[in-house]
Structure 1
Amino acid sequence: MLLLVFFTGVLVLGCGKYQIDLTLESSKFLNLDDSGAPLPVVLRIYQLSSKDRFESADFTTLWKNDREVLESDILVRQEITLNPDSSVVLHLDSKKNPAYLGVVALFRRPQGDAWRQIIPLKASKVRSVKITVHERSTKIVTMD
């Protein structure tokens, strides 16, 4: 019985919570409208088990049907509105072990593939990531 309690404790400790400390920073020229005025942008932040579906989906598909397209790859999905010339810090928690962090910026007029970024996550339990969002592009920088 004592051995069973020991192994149960090891399993519980081994299945700890993972935290990602996420800093979001935006340019003052964010998501410009037709007159050149900056606008907020919606960011979708995904903790993913796989990157294949995320990388192969186009902008419109992820914008309108992300949950259906990414299916079981999504471990955690969060949506936030980022204002021009601002900074936000989020602490994302997951009891699962995400393999990737993906970000989609829902720009008014996305160009190329800069609206989407994905990075592999390390095996450590605390991760620090910085995402900068500019006029029509995103950039992820790991800060570990």
Structure 2
Amino acid sequence: GIQTINIDLISDVNANGGNAVVIKIYQLTNDDKFRLADFKSLWKKAEETLANEFIPPFIEETIVPNKNYELKEIEISKEAAFVGVVGDFHSPSKDGWRLIISVDSDIDYLKILILENSLSLQKE
């Protein structure tokens, strides 16, 4: 059957210094290129940067501080081994603008926190 996951994006009151932050979520066959890419390459030309590791389309959401967003029933490709998340922060912490989450067939829920200058995966 088709694997789907629900993703909750939980935005802190101080997220991005109190400003909206744009989040992009990518499905990946592998995380090598995503892990090595810099922010600008991923943000501006993900398809090119990730090449054959990227499974289109990506999801883009604008997240307002102090709000929760639910992405329901996102279909995960059979080829996807990872989900990559990128946040466009005003002044991101060193590697906090990116998250790499390994997705196996058991995963059906992710909770991602959007903090002042970073993203964090909340382990249930």
Which of 129, 134, 142 pairs up with 2:115? 134
Deviation at 1:98, TM superposition (A): 1.4
Which of 16, 20, 24 pairs up with 1:44? 24
For the 8 Å contact 1:18–1:97, the answer to whether it is kept is: no
Q: How many residue pairs end up in the alignment?
A: 122
**Which contiguous aligned blocks of 4+ residues in structure 1 show a shift greater than 2 angstroms?**
94-97
| Greater radius of gyration (CA) | 1
Which of 11, 18, 37 pairs up with 1:26? 11
Q: Which consecutive residues of structure 2, in runs of 5 or more, have no partner in the other structure?
A: none
Deviation at 1:111, TM superposition (A): 2.3
**Aligned alpha-carbon RMSD (Å):** 1.4
For the 8 Å contact 1:75–1:96, the answer to whether it is kept is: no
Query: Per the alignment, in what secondary structure is the counterpart of residue 16 of structure 2?
Result: coil
Query: Per the alignment, in what secondary structure is the counterpart of residue 46 of structure 2?
Result: helix
**TM-score when normalising by structure 1:** 0.78
Which of 88, 95, 103 pairs up with 1:106? 88
Q: Which residue of 1 aligns with 2:97?
A: 115
Deviation at 1:142, TM superposition (A): 4.4
Q: Which residue of 1 aligns with 2:2?
A: 17
Query: Per the alignment, in what secondary structure is the counterpart of residue 45 of structure 2?
Result: helix
Superposed CA deviations along residues 71-103 of structure 1, whole A, max 9, x for unmatched, are: 221224111111100001112113434101110
Query: Given residue 8 of structure 2, which amino acid in structure 1 is its aligned partner?
Result: T
| Percent identical | 34
**TM-score when normalising by structure 2:** 0.90
Q: Which consecutive residues of structure 1, in runs of 5 or more, have no partner in the other structure?
A: 1-15, 33-37
Change (3 A) 1:142 1:98: farther
Q: Which residue of 2 aligns with 1:55?
A: 35
Superposed CA deviations along residues 35-73 of structure 1, whole A, max 9, x for unmatched, are: xxx110000011111000000001121121112101221
